[in-house]
């Protein structure tokens, strides 16, 4: 066993750099093809790893890789959210749903590739719409998850919408977050175009307005529906 601490640190740094390359490569592939549509050997190749088993070596499984991507990105977001919450509190806006939604989603804008696209947002949208429903739970649903700022945002949002029961509220938060992620995905794919003169700031502000309206809308839980449609029928 090598007892040289300098060499150990170098190996640790090299291993961590490899893990990050793999996570960032996987994020892009998952965003483009879905989590189920990407093989581990494809991820290894995209990360520049000559060994096809590099992902298994560093992460063990695809599910663990997904969890570690969440860890990697959420720990990047935590300081941003902590700072934003402090500024919101100082400005007397800590109970404002729109402000809290900004704290929740604006950190996603900090992660973009060389072309200005947002692969982590697309990956997360893939997870929320498919993998979570298929049984891959979000690691930050655990009470002990190391994301105090994210947890506080969720708690404050729930307090600002006490007219909505807990389970429907959780669904609303997921749906309004998807509004933001899908807006970024549409923009990254070229809609609206630059020629239409709609800036990213305009899109973000308008989406936040829609998200806020949807989150705080009255909760309708009784009364017959106006229209009924049977499953499988147009």
| Residue 195 pLDDT exceeds 90 | no
Q: What mean pLDDT do residues 1-17 have?
A: 67
Confidence grade of residue 167 (pLDDT, cut at 50, 70, 90): very high
| Residue 178 pLDDT exceeds 70 | yes
More confident residue, 122 or 2: 122
Q: How far is CA 187 from CA 125, 164, 183, in A?
A: 14, 31, 6
Write down the domain spans for the chain. Answer: 63-216
Buried-exposed string 142-176: b where 16+ CB fall within 10 A, e elsewhere: eeeeebebbebbbebbeebbeebeeeebeebbeeb
Weakest-pLDDT range from 12-26, 29-43, 131-145, 146-160: 131-145
| Residue 108 pLDDT exceeds 80 | yes
pLDDT of residue 3: 58
| Residue 4 pLDDT exceeds 70 | no
Share of the chain above pLDDT 90, in %: 64
* Tens of pLDDT, residues 95-105: 999 999 999 99
Residue with tokens 């934003």: 84
Contact 65, 26 (CB under 8 A): yes
| Residue 84 pLDDT exceeds 90 | yes
- Quick check: helix, strand or coil at residue 105? helix
């Amino acid at each position: 066993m090598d007892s040289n601490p300098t060499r150990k640190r170098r190996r640790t740094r090299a291993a961590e750099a490899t893990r990050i390359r793999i996570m960032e490569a996987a994020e892009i592939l998952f965003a483009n093809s879905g989590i189920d549509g990407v093989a581990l050997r494809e991820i290894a190749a995209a990360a520049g790893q000559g060994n096809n088993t590099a992902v298994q070596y560093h992460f063990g499984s695809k599910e663990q890789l997904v969890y570690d991507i969440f860890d990697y990105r959420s720990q990047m977001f935590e300081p941003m959210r902590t700072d934003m919450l402090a500024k919101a509190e100082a400005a007397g806006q800590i109970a404002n749903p729109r402000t809290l939604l900004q704290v929740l989603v604006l950190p996603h804008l900090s992660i973009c590739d060389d072309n200005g696209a947002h692969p982590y947002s697309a990956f997360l949208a893939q997870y929320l719409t498919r993998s979570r429903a298929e049984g891959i739970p979000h690691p930050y649903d655990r009470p002990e998850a190391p994301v105090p700022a994210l947890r506080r945002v969720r708690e404050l949002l729930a307090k600002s919408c006490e007219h909505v029961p807990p389970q429907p509220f959780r669904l609303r938060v997921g749906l309004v977050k998807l509004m933001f992620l899908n807006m970024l995905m549409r923009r990254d794919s070229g809609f609206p175009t630059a020629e239409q003169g709609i800036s990213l700031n305009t899109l973000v502000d308008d989406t936040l307005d829609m998200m806020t309206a949807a989150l705080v809308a009255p909760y309708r839980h009784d009364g017959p529906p106006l229209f009924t449609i049977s499953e499988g029928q147009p």
